[in-house]
Copies of this chain bind each other. A is one copy, B any other.
């Protein structure tokens, strides 16, 4: 296992500058131009030279290294009716991929994601993880991983790294889950080497909301470089993208919207606090307020969520007001977060996206009431990401690390 990206980045920035660094930077530059091109837009060396502002000579040399490293492949191009020597197309090697995985409360999932971020194959396995120990869950995920590794071998795919998303706070450097109350985990060291054994592999651990934010980024307009992703799962998480990069904060725990205080005299929260957003807009809180009981096992939650939607669709109280109350609280929390982060786009995922039609009116009214000066420019979107969102985001981010540091794979 290589070092996670953060420390690798720190190391490279603290290293002295020598001429070789220029090549590292330019390898990454060329690769980012290739990766930045559209789906089936095949750039030639000449195109890359123009886009990267490097000379054709440099580009040829750099591309040769990328070809040798297997990050890029040449692909024939036929341009009808144009003069001149035909160009050779260059694309990211579609036979290189990253394994994304997720452990959530009610399922585990894994998938193969290519360097362009496309999900090639995946498998989702229902699994009541709250009642399981970390090692049991990891064993099951390990099996899932092995199946996908076999699938990769069968298709000639090389796995260059992996990412795992969990619904809780993680220490990325130590591969430790610090707190995942909805899994019932606390301070669990994860033996990630067992998930993806190849020693040459780069592996990173993610918070579920952060990973989902990274997946959401792929769906946004490239100009939308700043947004907050709010993940409504059993808990409420948040992932912040600033200047097209994940803003994780000093310890990697930034964005945790679930425990923003929105009712100072409110209910006690599982975090020990009082009046947190999660006590009103979390899944359990909504279900409880909708008079759908308070049992916590996975099977019953699925059933109760189904009942909630039935009640909403028939316009039955107290379900309607439970969701409206959640929307109102969400509007307050989002108002504060938008102010503190200075973002004007917020994307809602998980149950918030599913509840959009009942949630949005109350949320917008609340935002208008508490922050009229920003409500006008606010863009509140709902995410189409499903259960593969977090694994795709985790894998995509690891793939991005590889594309940013191609010299590690060259020569």
The residues of A with any CB-CB pair to B shorter than 8 Å are 15-19, 21-23, 25-26, 29, 52-54, 225-226, 238, 242-243, 247-257, 259-264, 271-276, 328, 332, 335-337, 339-344, 366, 369-373
Chain B neighbourhood of A225, CB < 8 A: 250
Is B261 in contact with A262, judged by CB distance below 8 angstroms?
yes
Is A372 in contact with B342, judged by CB distance below 8 angstroms?
no
Report the minimal beta-carbon distance from A185 to chain B, rounded to whole angstroms.
15
Q: By CB atoms of chain B within 10 A, which of A54, A226, A271 has the most?
A: A271
User: Among B253, B256, B272, B344, which residue has its beta carbon within 8 angstroms of that of A372?
Assistant: B272
User: Among B19, B242, B249, B275, which residue has its beta carbon within 8 angstroms of that of A22?
Assistant: B19
User: Among B15, B271, B343, B373, which residue has its beta carbon within 8 angstroms of that of A271?
Assistant: B373
Instruction: Specify the chain B residue showing the minimal Cβ separation from A342.
Output: B249
Chain B neighbourhood of A328, CB < 8 A: 264
Question: In whole angstroms, how far apart are the Cα atoms of A247 and B372 in the complex?
Answer: 24
Chain B neighbourhood of A339, CB < 8 A: 256, 259-260
Is B275 in contact with A370, judged by CB distance below 8 angstroms?
yes
Given contacts A248-B342, A261-B335, A340-B340, 9 further A-B contacts (CB under 8 A): A15-B53, A16-B53, A19-B19, A225-B250, A252-B342, A273-B371, A273-B372, A274-B369, A276-B370
Report the minimal beta-carbon distance from A232 to chain B, rounded to whole angstroms.
17
Is A264 in contact with B16, judged by CB distance below 8 angstroms?
no
Instruction: Specify the chain B residue showing the minimal Cβ separation from A335.
Output: B261
Q: By CB atoms of chain B within 10 A, which of A18, A250, A264 has the most?
A: A264
Chain B neighbourhood of A253, CB < 8 A: 342
List 10 tightest A-B contacts by C-beta distance, closest first.
A249-B342, A17-B25, A272-B372, A254-B342, A226-B250, A253-B342, A16-B53, A260-B336, A17-B22, A17-B26
Chain B neighbourhood of A52, CB < 8 A: 16
Report the minimal beta-carbon distance from A379 to chain B, rounded to whole angstroms.
13
Report the minimal beta-carbon distance from A344 to chain B, rounded to whole angstroms.
8
User: Among B257, B272, B273, B370, which residue has its beta carbon within 8 angstroms of that of A273?
Assistant: B370
A342 with B250, Cβ < 8 A, contacts A19-B19, A371-B271 known: yes
Question: Can you identify 8 A-B contacts, CB atoms within 8 angstroms?
Answer: A15-B53, A226-B250, A249-B341, A264-B328, A264-B366, A272-B371, A273-B335, A336-B340
Instruction: Specify the chain B residue showing the minimal Cβ separation from A372.
Output: B272
User: Among B16, B247, B344, which residue has its beta carbon within 8 angstroms of that of A29?
Assistant: B16
Question: In whole angstroms, how far apart are the Cα atoms of A177 and B189 in the complex?
Answer: 50
User: Among B29, B254, B274, which residue has its beta carbon within 8 angstroms of that of A340?
Assistant: B254
Is A336 in contact with B29, judged by CB distance below 8 angstroms?
no
Is B16 in contact with A369, judged by CB distance below 8 angstroms?
no
Question: In whole angstroms, how far apart are the Cα atoms of A335 and B269 in the complex?
Answer: 14
Question: In whole angstroms, how far apart are the Cα atoms of A338 and B163 in the complex?
Answer: 27
Is A54 in contact with B16, judged by CB distance below 8 angstroms?
yes
Chain B neighbourhood of A247, CB < 8 A: 247
Is A337 in contact with B335, judged by CB distance below 8 angstroms?
no
Report the minimal beta-carbon distance from A55 to chain B, rounded to whole angstroms.
9
User: Among B249, B250, B264, B373, which residue has its beta carbon within 8 angstroms of that of A262?
Assistant: B264
Question: In whole angstroms, how far apart are the Cα atoms of A251 and B340 in the complex?
Answer: 12
Chain B neighbourhood of A29, CB < 8 A: 16-17
Question: In whole angstroms, how far apart are the Cα atoms of A248 and B341 in the complex?
Answer: 8
Question: In whole angstroms, how far apart are the Cα atoms of A17 and B332 in the complex?
Answer: 46
Instruction: Specify the chain B residue showing the minimal Cβ separation from A49.
Output: B16
Instruction: Specify the chain B residue showing the minimal Cβ separation from A269.
Output: B370
Chain B neighbourhood of A249, CB < 8 A: 226, 242, 341-343
User: Among B21, B254, B257, B332, which residue has its beta carbon within 8 angstroms of that of A264?
Assistant: B332
Instruction: Specify the chain B residue showing the minimal Cβ separation from A277.
Output: B336
Instruction: Specify the chain B residue showing the minimal Cβ separation from A332.
Output: B261
Chain B neighbourhood of A276, CB < 8 A: 370
A257 with B340, Cβ < 8 A, contacts A17-B29, A271-B371 known: yes
